[in-house]
Amino acid sequence: MRTYFGNPCFFVMNIKTFRFNAFAENTYLIWDEANIGAIIDPGCSNFDEENQLVEFISKENIDLKHHLLTHAHIDHVFGCNFIFNHYGLAPRFYHLEKTLYDFAPGIAIKYGMPPMTMPEAGEFITLDEVLNVGSIQFKILFTPGHSPGSICFYNAENSIIFSGDVLFEGSIGRTDLPGGNHQQLLNSIQQQLFTLPAATNVYSGHGNITQIGLEKMTNPFF
């Protein structure tokens, strides 16, 4: 768990990372100083993983208010129905991900996974929206390429971005899945992410935390 203090207003952002499912997907819980929280990309795929989430949320007394998706590939939405049923929160994402979201149960069948039920989506996130998780504000960055409607959640005060599968430590998202576009992904990273301050911490959908400046200097795709 990491705690960041924004400058100059000292808005607290607590972050807990869970590595879930067979794809080693990063599910993030964030919450502010008043314990108002959000879950980003719930990848919990079995009872043990669901129980980890519930126990942690209960232990930290987090008031979960938001259920957010960077994109709707199956490894990032395994837990959507659980979050909806347990906390009454419908998932919110950018409208261009709706086709992928609706097709997730079919993907599960195709790959021999247990049957999935997807809850009705919540209100679509808009690109001009300022997303407030308590005192924490996120700007929405449109970063297609890995998927048609991939978005990132950027908090300037704490120099943090949740990038989904757009940018990784030393790599980028795959583009061989339906709706992927390699050049579009490169453009998204260069125009939306590499224009952020070098010290911005990148919380990716898989793997370790990295920084924008480090990726600009060392990422082999650029």
What domains can you pick out in the chain, each with its CATH number?
2-218 (3.60.15.10)
Residue 10 has pLDDT above 80, yes or no: no
- Rounded mean pLDDT, 97-113: 92
Q: Which residues contact 159 (CB under 8 A, 6 or more apart)?
A: 4, 197, 199, 200, 201
Residue with tokens 């129980």, as numbered in its chain: 51
**Per-residue confidence (pLDDT) for residue 28, from 0 to 100:** 98
| Mean pLDDT across the chain | 95
Strand duo 130-133 + 151-155: pairing: unpaired
For residue 131, what pLDDT band results from cuts at 50, 70 and 90? Answer: very high
Per-residue pLDDT of 153-179, as tens digits, reads: 999 999 999 999 999 999 999 999 989
**Per-residue confidence (pLDDT) for residue 4, from 0 to 100:** 56
Per-residue pLDDT of 48-97, as tens digits, reads: 999 999 999 999 999 999 999 999 999 999 999 999 999 999 999 999 99
Among residues 139, 146, 131, which one has the least CA distance to residue 195? 139
